[in-house]
Structure 1
Amino acid sequence: MTRLPALSVQTYTVRDDLGPRTGETLGRLRALGFANVEPFNIVSDPEGLARDLEAVGLRARTAHANIVMLDREEVVAAARRLGVETVIVPWAEPDRFRSQESIRQLAGEINDAARFAAHHGVSVGYHNHEFEFETHVRGTPAWEILVDELDDDVVIELDTYWASVGGADVFELIPRRSTRVRYLHVSDEPPEEDDPPTLGVPIAGRMPEVVAVAAPHVDLIVVEIVVDGDVFPRLERNARFFQGMLTS
């Protein structure tokens, strides 16, 4: 039987329902069938978050924490307390992708943080937005240059929406970069009127194809939905949608 990736959810999706309601909200995510979550804030109260996760039976295999900018010892300590396997750099300034030199410098900082984290049993990854693909240096997307400059141990979390907006063909990119892409951000939400134009191959309505291409290569499929208001109806539908693909 072919190995299938596990399903997770980025807690930024439920950012308005955290704080004093974190435990309750995590319980709602577990009730939707998620076994994993990807926290975006692990350093403010790792003990409290660990207790809340353990109470509802959720794992946090990945987390967004900018180990390049934050205190790396604090990030790694929080990750270890939470059982996080990979700390993912969620953002770098767009100006850092304007030249080969600045990309190489950023990669060096990430590599250095990754070597530190590896000594403590934690790996490091990088998560994209659109500008890494939209920006080209000597005709090459800056994202491609960054990946080539990163050490092999630094893994990639590919945000499929932002990659396609920035100009990528994720159907071509995922298998070509299969040795690096271990985590995938997805959403089966229809486009909204204020969404930016898509410069690459559109993926709206094509999530089954995206998952089919990625499933042999990635470890986690991470749902992220960024909307105002009550997100849980959309989360419930997305949970059913992706669980149906990942349990067949």
Structure 2
Amino acid sequence: MRVAPIIGLQMYSLRDLAEKDFLGTLHKVKEMGYQAVEFSGYYATPASELKSVLDNIGLKAPSAHVSLHYDDDRSKIKHDITKQIEYAKEIGLEYLITPWAPLPEKPSADDVTYLANILEFVGKQVYEGGLQYGYHNHDFEFKMVDNNKRVIDLLLERIPADYLIAEFDLGWIHMGGQKPVDYLMRYAGRVPLVHFKDFGAGRRDTEIGKGNVDLKGVLQATEEAGVQYIFVEQEQFSSSSVESMKKSLEFFQENGVLQIEHAQKGNGC
């Protein structure tokens, strides 16, 4: 049975608040009407304390972005990921996501092979630790390699699905010259998490539904594709991060994905 995705917020969107009061910002997220969060850091918060706050306010937290140290040796990578797995399991996460990878302006097949080997190494460790591992794209992963295939397709072809799921950032797919809904459906069943990111003029992002990305079309396909969580992400704001996150939530209310009363309750209406 298909289930509508849960609407969440990538905490990087509220980094200006989280840096000052991480746990208090989680309360604000819940009050706005979001149902889940994806972490981009824990601000030195003990896992037990974070888990308690999430449980008390009723906020789901399925995933976190975890950077890799690509220049370190495998033993260092393994040590770092082991600590991330332990923390993630204590707070109840299901997914660890790598948000970025270094690639040259014109990636070669060797560059992609090197990256794929690292991601598979990490993915196997995460899988054996009882979680799932994923990769979050930007636009450069949609460059062609040797005029053959795109970086993202090569990565997803070479690495077994058990070791790597896709967390497609739909805005960056658009900026990479591709149709977000096409990629979502191409890898249906392997994309449990997506980022909704909208772009206006140039490379400046904006509130969901206010830009040029066909996110409404994607929204209609999420259930069929097996998407479980949609995370709103925005980096640049015309007024404030909180106001932008509230405006983005209206997109999901207007399209019948999120009940309006959730947000009304959170906003004190």
**TM-score interval (norm. to shorter):** 0.7 to 0.9
Looking at structure 1, the residues matched to 189 and 146 of structure 2 have their Cα atoms a distance apart, in angstroms, of 23
CA contact (8 A) 1:126 1:157 kept: yes
Relative distance call for 1:96 and 1:195 in structure 2 (3 A) is closer
Structure 2 partner of 1:63: 64
Superposed displacement of residue 121, structure 1:
1.1
Does the CA contact (< 8 Å) of 1:134 and 1:167 recur in 2?
no
Distance 2:17 2:130 in 1: 31
Pair 86,68 (structure 1): closer, same or farther in 2 beyond 3 Å:
farther
- The answer to whether the 8 A contact 2:184-2:191 is kept is yes
Displacement of 1:137: 3.0
CA separation of 1:221/1:97 partners in 2, compared to 1, >3 Å: closer, same or farther? Answer: farther
Query: Do residues 27 (structure 1) and 27 (structure 2) align?
Result: yes
CA contact (8 A) 2:103 2:111 kept: no
Amino acid at match of 1:28: K
Q: Is residue 2:242 matched to residue 1:232?
A: yes
Give TM-score, length-normalised by structure 2: 0.81
1:79-90 superposed matches below 5 A: 79-90=88-99
Aligned CA distance change for structure 1 residues 43 and 106 (closer, same or farther; 3 Å)? farther
CA distance in 1, matches of 2:155, 2:105: 10
What corresponds to 2:180 in structure 1? Answer: 170
Q: Which residue of 1 aligns with 2:217?
A: 209
Kindly state the Cα deviation for residue 194 of structure 1 after the two structures are TM-superposed: 5.2
* AA of the residue aligned to 2:193: Y
- Please list every run of 5 or more consecutive structure 1 residues that lacks an aligned counterpart in the other structure: 197-202
TM-score, with length taken from structure 1: 0.87
* 1:246 maps onto 2:257 in alignment: yes
Q: Report the CA distance between 1:214 and its aligned residue.
A: 2.3
| Match status 1:179 vs 2:199 | no
Consecutive unaligned residues in structure 2, runs of 5 or more: 71-76, 206-210, 260-269
1:145 to 150, 154, 159: 154
Moved more, 159-168 or 234-243: 234-243
Where do 4+ consecutive residues of structure 1 move more than 6 Å?
Answer: none
> How many residues get paired?
241
Q: Shift of the alpha carbon at 1:129?
A: 0.4
2:74 alignment partner in structure 1: none
- Aligned with 1:4: secondary structure? coil
Aligned-pair CA distance for 1:159: 0.3
Residues 174 and 213, structure 2, Cα contact 8 Å, conserved in 1: no
Q: What SS does structure 1 have at the residue aligned with 2:178? A: coil
Larger mean CA deviation between 146-155 and 97-106 belongs to 97-106
The reply on whether 1:103 has 2:112 as its aligned counterpart is: yes
1:88 deviates by 0.3
Deviations 1:34-53 (A, max 9, x none): 12100011484342433433
